Amino acid sequence: MSADTLDLFDRPALQPIAPGALLLHGFALAAASQLLADIAQVITAAPLRHLVTPGGYRMSVAMSNCGPLGWVSDETGYRYSAADPLSGRPWPAMPPSFRALAAEAASQAGFDAFEPDACLINRYEPGARLTLHQDRDERDKRQPIVSISLGLPATFLFGGTRRNDRPRRLPLVHGDVVVWGGPSRLAYHGVSPLADGGHPATGRCRFNLTLRRAG
């Protein structure tokens, strides 16, 4: 029995973390192999890259996208784009495995009929982090955000709607899913620097899928 499976017996399957926010422990485990295979296909067509913030900072997390819209950042700002700026071609289609799991997870959190049109793929290597931020670039903020963790464990930071609200530190392992919306839709969130290690499914990295309704 794996450490990921053992850990499930020590934690509730569904863990409310804030109004409108839920951590679903191990929710993606059964689909993890398919999700990783589909990630490999997407990043073959649209390779991972380190985006640059409007302030000129190179992000430590490598990113790509799939679906009708993809989130991008450069010196001109943050935005969604229908085309990959590296190739000029549309982003790869969103795999059915991504869409189905996101809809199921959102429904568990009370958000029915979630239909994501954007999936940001993040690859974290040891030391990579994501500073606290809000997801504000989506048009319809009534729709939730679904975040799927695969590979190395990470510490997810989940705060309030004000930047100075002290965030909770939530350990995430392979197969965990976080959903937030409603009163928590604009909560500040981030990821602490990834600790070094190895995982049988991903090696020395963590993949995160963040699914949103952007258009």
CA distance 88 to 16: 41
In CATH, what number is assigned to the domain containing residue 35? 2.60.120.590
Tell me the pTM: 0.94
Q: Is 39 left (phi over 0), alpha (psi -120 to 50) or beta?
A: alpha
What is the span of the domain harbouring residue 91? 3-212
As a whole number, mean pLDDT of residues 131-159 equals: 97
Question: Which pLDDT score is estimated for 2?
Answer: 47
Using a CB cutoff of 8 Å and minimum separation of 24, what contacts does 159-162 make?
159/132, 159/187, 159/188, 159/189, 160/18, 160/187, 160/188, 161/134, 161/186, 161/187, 161/188, 162/188
The pLDDT > 90 percentage for the chain reads 93
pLDDT in tens, 29-83: 999 999 999 999 999 999 999 999 999 999 999 999 999 999 999 999 999 999 9
As a whole number, mean pLDDT of residues 16-27 equals: 98
Number of domains in the chain: 1
Q: How confident is the model at residue 3 (pLDDT cuts 50, 70, 90)?
A: very low
Distances in Å between the Cα of 164 and the Cα atoms of 16, 160, 174, 176, 189 are 22, 8, 29, 26, 12
CA distance 50 to 120: 13
